[in-house]
Amino acid sequence: MNILGLSFYYHDSSAALVSDGVLVAAAAEERFSRVKHDSGLPHLAIEFVLRQSGLSMDDVDHVVFYEKPFIKFERMLLTAMATFPRSSAVFRESMQRWITDKLWVKSHLLRELGVPAAKLLFADHHVSHAASSFFTSPFEESAILTVDGAGEWSTATMGIGRGNQLEITQELRFPHSLGLLYSAFTAYCGFEINEGEYKLMGMHPYGEPKYTDKIYELIEVAEDGSLWHDMRYFAYHRSRDTTLSPAFAKHFGRPARDPKLEDKSLDPYYCDMAASIQRVTEEVLQKMLTQLHAQTGSKNLCLAGGVALNSVANFKLLRDGPFDDVYIHPAPGDDGGAVGAAYWAYNHLLGQPRGPALDHAYLGSSYSDDEIEAFLTKNEIAFEKYEVDEELYDFVARSLQEGKVCGWFHGRFEWGPRALGSRSIIADPRKPEMKELLNEKIKFREAFRPFAPSVLEERADEFFEFPDASRHLPARFMLYVCPVREDKRSVLPAITHEDGSGRLQTVHKETCPAYHRVIERFGELTGVPVIMNTSFNLKGEPIVEDPSHAFNTFSLSGMDLLILGNYVVRAEAKKQIADTRFSLRHQGDSVTEMVS
Ligand SMILES: [Fe+2]
Q: What is the pLDDT of residue 74?
A: 64
Task: Calculate how far, in angstroms, residue 49's C-alpha sits from the geometric centre of ligand 1.
Answer: 22
pLDDT band (50, 70, 90) for residue 448: confident
Torsion sign (Cα): 103, 182, 499, 473: negative
Q: What is the pLDDT of residue 90?
A: 64
- CA–CA gap between residue 130 and residue 170 (Å, rounded): 12
Task: Calculate how far, in angstroms, residue 333's C-alpha sits from the geometric centre of ligand 1.
Answer: 6
* Residues 553-591: tens digit of each pLDDT: 999 999 999 999 999 999 999 988 876 553 333 333 332
25 alpha carbon, distance to own chain's centre: 16
Task: Calculate how far, in angstroms, residue 88's C-alpha sits from the geometric centre of ligand 1.
Answer: 25
- CA–CA gap between residue 281 and residue 178 (Å, rounded): 7
Q: What is the pLDDT of residue 132?
A: 98
Task: Calculate how far, in angstroms, residue 358's C-alpha sits from the geometric centre of ligand 1.
Answer: 20
Report the 10 Å Cβ neighbour count for 324. 10
> CB–CB of 141/270 below 8 Å?
no
Average pLDDT over residues 513-540: 96
Q: Which of 272-286, 333-347, 427-441 shows the lowest mean pLDDT across its residues?
A: 427-441
Q: Which of 123-132, 219-228, 586-595 shows the lowest mean pLDDT across its residues?
A: 586-595
Q: What is the pLDDT of residue 584?
A: 35
- CA–CA gap between residue 571 and residue 382 (Å, rounded): 10
Where b means 16+ CB within 10 Å and e means fewer, 472-506 reads bbbbbbbbbbbbbbeebbebbebbbbeeebbbbbb
As a whole-number percent, the residues of the chain with pLDDT over 70 amount to: 90
pTM: 0.91
Q: Which of 170-184, 211-225, 442-456, 511-525 shows the lowest mean pLDDT across its residues?
A: 442-456
**pLDDT > 90? residue 292:** yes
Q: Which of 231-240, 308-317, 318-327, 399-408 shows the lowest mean pLDDT across its residues?
A: 231-240
Task: Calculate how far, in angstroms, residue 523's C-alpha sits from the geometric centre of ligand 1.
Answer: 39
Q: What is the pLDDT of residue 193?
A: 82
Nearest Cα to Cα of residue 567 among 397, 322, 375: 375
Q: What is the pLDDT of residue 450?
A: 80
Torsion sign (Cα): 150, 152, 154, 156: negative
Average pLDDT over residues 457-481: 96
Average pLDDT over residues 111-122: 87
* Residues 72-101: tens digit of each pLDDT: 666 676 666 666 666 666 666 666 665 566
Q: What's the Cα-to-Cα distance from 460 to each of 89, 358, 430, rounded to whole Å?
A: 53, 21, 16
Task: Calculate how far, in angstroms, residue 35's C-alpha sits from the geometric centre of ligand 1.
Answer: 20
**pLDDT > 70? residue 368:** yes
Average pLDDT over residues 177-186: 94
Q: Mention every residue, 6+ apart, whose C-beta is less than 8 A from residue 389.
A: 514, 517, 566
- CA–CA gap between residue 353 and residue 330 (Å, rounded): 22
Q: What is the pLDDT of residue 78?
A: 67
**pLDDT > 90? residue 5:** yes
**pLDDT > 90? residue 208:** yes
Task: Calculate how far, in angstroms, residue 305's C-alpha sits from the geometric centre of ligand 1.
Answer: 5
Task: Calculate how far, in angstroms, residue 158's C-alpha sits from the geometric centre of ligand 1.
Answer: 14
Q: What is the pLDDT of residue 258?
A: 83
Task: Calculate how far, in angstroms, residue 129's C-alpha sits from the geometric centre of ligand 1.
Answer: 7
Average pLDDT over residues 25-35: 95
Q: What is the pLDDT of residue 99?
A: 59
Q: What is the pLDDT of residue 26?
A: 98
Task: Calculate how far, in angstroms, residue 91's C-alpha sits from the geometric centre of ligand 1.
Answer: 22
Task: Calculate how far, in angstroms, residue 152's C-alpha sits from the geometric centre of ligand 1.
Answer: 9
Task: Calculate how far, in angstroms, residue 127's C-alpha sits from the geometric centre of ligand 1.
Answer: 10
Task: Calculate how far, in angstroms, residue 95's C-alpha sits from the geometric centre of ligand 1.
Answer: 21
Q: Which of 209-223, 231-245, 358-372, 508-522 shows the lowest mean pLDDT across its residues?
A: 231-245
Task: Calculate how far, in angstroms, residue 540's C-alpha sits from the geometric centre of ligand 1.
Answer: 22
Task: Calculate how far, in angstroms, residue 297's C-alpha sits from the geometric centre of ligand 1.
Answer: 26
Q: What is the pLDDT of residue 349?
A: 96
> CB–CB of 533/399 below 8 Å?
no
How does the average pLDDT of the chain come out, rounded? 90
Determine the angle formed by the axes of helices 369-378 and 547-556, rounding to 10 degrees: 50
Q: What is the pLDDT of residue 360?
A: 97
Average pLDDT over residues 424-441: 91
> CB–CB of 502/464 below 8 Å?
yes
